[in-house]
Amino acid sequence: MKFFADTADIAEIRDLAALGLADGVTTNPSLVAASGRDFMALIKEICAVVPGPVSAEVAATDEAGMRREADVLRAIAGNVVIKLPLTLEGLKVCSALTAEGTQTNVTLCFSAAQAILAAKAGATYVSPFVGRLDDVGARGMGLIAEILEIYRHYPDFTTQVLVASIRSPMHIVEAARLGAGVVTAPPAVLRQLAVHPLTDKGLAAFVEAWAKTGQKIVS
Report the pLDDT averaged over residues 94-102: 98
pLDDT tens string 148-207: 999 999 999 999 999 999 999 999 999 999 999 999 999 999 999 999 999 999 999 999
110: three-class secondary structure by DSSP: coil
- Average per-residue pLDDT for the chain: 97
Cα separation, 81 vs 105, whole angstroms: 6
Which residues neighbour 18 within 8 Å (Cβ) at sequence distance 6 or greater? none
Give the DSSP per-residue string, 56-92.
Answer: EE----SHHHHHHHHHHHHTT-TTEEEEEESSHHHHH
Q: Which of 2, 44, 83, 120 is catalytic?
A: 83
Cα separation, 185 vs 2, whole angstroms: 11
83 and 105 in contact (C-beta within 8 Å)?
A: yes
Predicted local distance difference test score (pLDDT) of residue 219: 86
Active site residue 212: no
Given pLDDT bands bounded at 50, 70 and 90, which one contains residue 50? very high
pLDDT tens string 110-147: 999 999 999 999 999 999 999 999 999 999 999 999 99
Domain boundaries, the chain: 2-213
Predicted local distance difference test score (pLDDT) of residue 162: 98
- State the pTM of this model: 0.94
Which residues neighbour 75 within 8 Å (Cβ) at sequence distance 6 or greater? none
Cα separation, 28 vs 176, whole angstroms: 24
Cα separation, 24 vs 79, whole angstroms: 9
Query: Topology of 2-213 in CATH?
Result: TIM Barrel (3.20.20)
